[in-house]
């Protein structure tokens, strides 16, 4: 089963993660602002396929409900689901 002491850092990491998650879930309004501060790829070109349409644009942010906000050449779209791929610069 291995050395229990070797698993302590993992246990501390999981405990810290769960504590932070519990704090966020206790105040749901804090989730998206916290996520926005850490989100990678804002301002980057993306391709989105949501099963009904394909979009190319710039990832400009996230709505309070978690939808990705993408600016295309002609409009701004909120995308609730699908595959988001970052395009090469």
CA pair distance 1, 24, nearest whole angstrom: 34
CA distances from 30 to 53, 66, 74, 88 (A): 31, 12, 32, 32
Q: Is the pLDDT of residue 46 over 60?
A: yes
Element spanning 43, H or E: none
pLDDT in tens, 15-36: 999 998 898 888 888 888 888 8
The CATH class of 40-89 is mainly beta
3 state DSSP class of 85: strand
Spans of all domains in the chain: 1-38, 40-89
pLDDT-derived band at 6, boundaries 50, 70, 90: low
Above 70 in pLDDT, residue 7? no
């Amino acid at each position: 089963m291995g050395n229990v002491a070797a698993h302590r850092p993992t246990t501390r990491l999981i405990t810290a993660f769960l504590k932070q998650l519990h704090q966020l879930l206790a105040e749901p309004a804090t989730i998206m602002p916290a996520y926005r501060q850490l989100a990678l790829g804002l301002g980057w070109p993306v391709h989105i396929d949501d099963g009904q349409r394909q979009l190319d644009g710039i990832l400009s942010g996230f709505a309070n409900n978690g939808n990705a906000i993408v600016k295309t050449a002609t409009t701004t779209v909120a995308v609730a689901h699908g595959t988001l791929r970052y395009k090469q610069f």
